[in-house]
Every structure is written in C-alpha cells, then in structure tokens.
C-alpha cells in the first residue's frame, strides 16, 4: 500500500540488499531511514503506508529507503496494527489434486488482496490438525480455510475463533461457520444415472471413512440405487489409493461381483483403476469405473471411466469471498455455498477432440 510496484522493484536493484558488498544492512530500522531522510520515524511510517506527506518529504524518504535497503518488519507492524494479513489453509494433503488446485486458487486470491498463505497438511491426523488450529490462533490470522476431518468438523461447531472460518469440501449441515461444497447427492445421482444408462445394474461403491463428504456421497449412492430398485453394495475404506486398490482387488476375485464401481474421490478411483489393471481386466470392456475428480490420468484412460469434475478454482475463490464478506460484516448468518459438479462423459466422445 502506498508505494507502487515499480518503486519496490527499483528498490530491489539498488538497495543495499541487492549489492553484495554494501555495508551489511545490519537490521536497518525505520529510525535509520528517518535519520537519513532527516525526518521522524512517524513520517517514514506515514510515507510507507500511504499517509499524508508533502511531495518533498515523500521523495526524501523514498530515497532513504532505497539507499538503506530498508524492509519493514512485518512482525512489528502486525503487533502494532493487529492485522496479520495472513490466511491459514488447512487440508489433509496438498498432493490430493483437489487440494492442490484449491491452494492455488486461495493463494491467487490472497495475493490479489495482499495477503499471504500459511499452508498446513494434516494427513487426516487429528493431533496435527489441532496443533495447526492452535497455530492459527497464535498467528492471529485474518481468516481460515479448512477441509476438516470428520472428528474436527464436529468440534469446530462448538469452538469460536477470533477470525472467520470457512469450511471447504467437507461440511455437514449449515452450522456455526460459512462453507463451500458441491452438491454431492446430485453428483452421485448423475453418476449412477449415467451407469444405469449404459446398462449396468450391479454397481459397487468404495467410500472413504474419514470425511463428511465421503459420507454424503455414500448416502447419495445408496439413495440413488434404492430409488431405482437396486441393491446398494458399498464398502467403506481409508481414503487412499493403496487401500482402494487392495479392497477392489479382493472384490474383483469374488464370484458374482458388480460390473461397475463408484469411488468417492480421486485417490480411490485411482486405486480402483490400478486394481482392474493388475487383475488383467480392461477398463470399459470388463469393468466400468466412475467417481470424482477430473484428474489428468483419467483423461488418459478415456472410455470406461466417468468422473464428476469439481469446480475447484471456484470453490477456492468462493471460500475467500466468504472470508472477506464476514470480515466486513461479522454478524450475517452463516452461509453455505453449494456448487454443482460437472459430469465428464468420455464414453460419448469416441475420437478425442481431433482436429
């Protein structure tokens, strides 16, 4: 604020920090700049934060900043202003492509708002999650975006924080905090209808056992099956590719098995694809798969694998919007944004977008 990009870019090149053999810019403070510019620290502060200052003063201060290579100390500034301009992002594992994209969207929005992002992976480990929640409080963050484990999701409802919290991906009924989710029940419905349309009647399901989202997808699956007079065949697993591969490998050897399977997230679908291959079966011809997350590898498989693409970028952006909205008006009622998933139907596209 106050000073332009150009100013700072220039600062970079000319400053002491940019010159190897400059007098080691030994903790240049605002007083040093003030002395050099022949003004008071308060004036330097004003110039730096875009406060009132005469043209001449402003120039002298900017010169002094450049010459000294001064960098304001954010800890001090935060302590004083009580504004950390920091967003906390807590997810289970950034390597889950859903969270990867989410973090990118969040970081982009944060950058635009001149904020930083502290990234935290919990590995679905409640202890680690609790540590990070505590950290967020100690950082006095501006706002938190979190995809909580189920246990924590419940506890979050009973906790109050000094900053707004937005739940993403995983959120139960509207509760104490704002949230952004996709319509899981509708999405599963779409998936099941698609499989039914392709003539499948035996549709098995593999669902994660740690998140409320997997739970919702499971319920949606069961409901959809029953609505069509079919028997749900669901198994709950740890939501990892490994667990999924193991479970489906076993399932595939059972007599009278389903010929189509649904997975509750990208990792699970990946494990399923591996299991099918390992069993020497062909996706599409022998087994049909469906699930969530339009990952790159699903594109490579093509036919026989149908997924629901989640509008991840929009989820991230919406989460930041909710955060900012609540910062402005802390008292509006908690709100839940429900976005739609999109069916990626590669079965309908025989030739992959040829020229």
Q: What is the largest CA-CA distance in the chain?
A: 87
Residue 38 binding a second copy, by CB under 8 A: no
Q: In angstroms, rounded to a whole number, what is the distance separating the alpha carbons of residues 158 and 203? A: 38
Q: In angstroms, rounded to a whole number, what is the distance separating the alpha carbons of residues 19 and 25? A: 10
Q: Which stretch binds DNA (CB under 7 A): 79-87, 163-171, 215-223, 283-291?
A: 79-87
Tell me, rounded to whole angstroms, the distance of Cα 334 from its chain centroid. Answer: 20
Q: Which stretch binds a second copy (CB under 8 A): 132-140, 163-171, 284-292, 318-326?
A: 132-140
Q: Which stretch binds DNA (CB under 7 A): 35-43, 128-136, 183-191, 221-229?
A: 35-43
Q: Binder to a second copy among 92, 179, 295, 326 (CB under 8 A)?
A: 295
Beta bridge partner(s), residue 121: 91
The number of beta carbons lying within 10 Å of the beta carbon of residue 89 is 27
Encoded tokens for 70? 């001064």
Phi, psi of 299 (to 5 degrees): -65, -35
Q: In angstroms, rounded to a whole number, what is the distance separating the alpha carbons of residues 325 and 333? A: 11
Residue 135 touches which member of DNA, a second copy, none, C-beta under 5-8 Å by kind: a second copy
- Cα end-to-end span (Å), the chain: 48
- Minimum CB–partner distance for residue 40 and DNA (Å): 3
Q: Residue 90: which residues within 8 A CB-CB, separation 6 or more?
A: 120, 122, 129, 132, 133, 136, 144, 145, 146, 147, 148
Tell me, rounded to whole angstroms, the distance of Cα 341 from its chain centroid. Answer: 16
Beta bridge partner(s), residue 283: 287
Residue 160 touches which member of DNA, a second copy, none, C-beta under 5-8 Å by kind: a second copy
What distances in angstroms separate CA 42 from CA 35, 76, 148, one per listed residue?
Answer: 11, 14, 43
- Minimum CB–partner distance for residue 107 and a second copy (Å): 5
Q: Which stretch binds a second copy (CB under 8 A): 16-24, 186-194, 227-235, 342-350?
A: 16-24
CB–CB of 140/84 below 8 Å?
Answer: yes
- Minimum CB–partner distance for residue 254 and DNA (Å): 59
Q: Binder to DNA among 23, 63, 79, 113 (CB under 7 A)?
A: 79
Binding mask 116-145 for DNA (x = CB under 7 A): ------------------------------
Residue 296 touches which member of a second copy, DNA, none, C-beta under 5-8 Å by kind: a second copy
Residue 329 binding DNA, by CB under 7 A: no
Which residue's CB is nearer to DNA, number 38 or number 352? 38
Residue 7 binding DNA, by CB under 7 A: no
Residue 301 binding a second copy, by CB under 8 A: yes
Q: Binder to DNA among 54, 125, 174, 349 (CB under 7 A)?
A: 54
Q: Binder to a second copy among 35, 45, 57, 100 (CB under 8 A)?
A: 100
Q: Binder to a second copy among 280, 285, 333, 350 (CB under 8 A)?
A: 280
Query: In b/e form, how buried is each residue of 169-201, taking b as 16+ CB within 10 angstroms?
Result: bbbbeebebbbbbbbbeebbbbbbebbbeeebe
CB–CB of 22/69 below 8 Å?
Answer: yes
Residue 353 binding a second copy, by CB under 8 A: yes
Residue 23 binding a second copy, by CB under 8 A: no
Binding to a second copy, residues 166-225 (CB under 8 A): 176
Residue 278 binding a second copy, by CB under 8 A: yes
Residue 268 binding DNA, by CB under 7 A: no
Residue 112 binding a second copy, by CB under 8 A: no
Which residue's CB is nearer to a second copy, number 31 or number 95? 95
* DSSP helix, strand, coil percent of the chain (3-state; round to 5): 50, 15, 35
- Residues of the shown chain interacting with DNA in the complex, contacts defined by CB under 7 A: 27, 29-31, 38-46, 48-49, 51-54, 56-57, 70-73, 76-77, 79-82
């Amino acid at each position: 604020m106050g000073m332009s990009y150009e100013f700072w870019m220039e600062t970079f090149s000319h400053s002491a920090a940019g010159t190897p053999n400059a007098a080691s810019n030994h903790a240049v403070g605002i007083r040093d700049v003030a002395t050099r510019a022949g003004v008071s620290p308060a004036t330097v502060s004003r110039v730096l934060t875009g406060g009132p200052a005469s043209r001449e003063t402003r120039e002298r201060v900017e010169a002094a900043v450049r010459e000294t290579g001064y960098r304001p100390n954010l800890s001090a500034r935060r302590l004083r202003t009580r504004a950390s301009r920091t967003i906390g992002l807590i997810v289970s594992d950034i390597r889950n492509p859903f969270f990867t994209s989410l973090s990118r969207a969040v970081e982009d929005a944060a950058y635009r708002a001149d904020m930083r992002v502290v990234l935290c992976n919990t590995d679905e480990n409640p202890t680690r999650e609790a540590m990070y929640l505590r950290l967020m409080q100690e950082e006095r963050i501006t706002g938190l975006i979190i995809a909580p484990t189920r246990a924590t999701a419940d506890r979050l409802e009973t906790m109050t924080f000094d900053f707004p919290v937005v739940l993403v991906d995983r959120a139960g009924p509207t509760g104490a905090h704002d949230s952004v989710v996709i319509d899981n029940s509708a999405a599963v419905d779409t998936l099941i209808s698609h499989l039914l349309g392709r003539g499948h009647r035996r549709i098995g399901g593999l669902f994660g056992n740690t998140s409320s989202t997997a739970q919702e997808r499971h319920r949606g699956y069961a409901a959809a099956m029953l609505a069509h007079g079919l028997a749900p065949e669901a198994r709950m697993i740890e939501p990892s590719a490994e667990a999924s591969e193991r479970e489906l490998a076993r399932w595939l050897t059972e007599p009278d098995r389903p010929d189509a399977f649904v997975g509750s997230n990208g990792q699970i679908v990946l494990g399923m694809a591996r299991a099918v291959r390992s069993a020497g079966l062909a996706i599409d011809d022998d087994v049909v798969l469906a699930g969530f997350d339009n990952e790159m590898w699903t594109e490579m498989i093509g036919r026989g694998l149908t997924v629901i693409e989640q509008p991840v970028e929009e989820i991230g952006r919406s989460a930041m919007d909710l955060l900012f909205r609540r910062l402005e008006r802390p008292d509006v009622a908690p709100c839940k944004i429900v976005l739609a998933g999109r069916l990626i139907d590669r079965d309908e596209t025989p030739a992959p977008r040829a020229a």
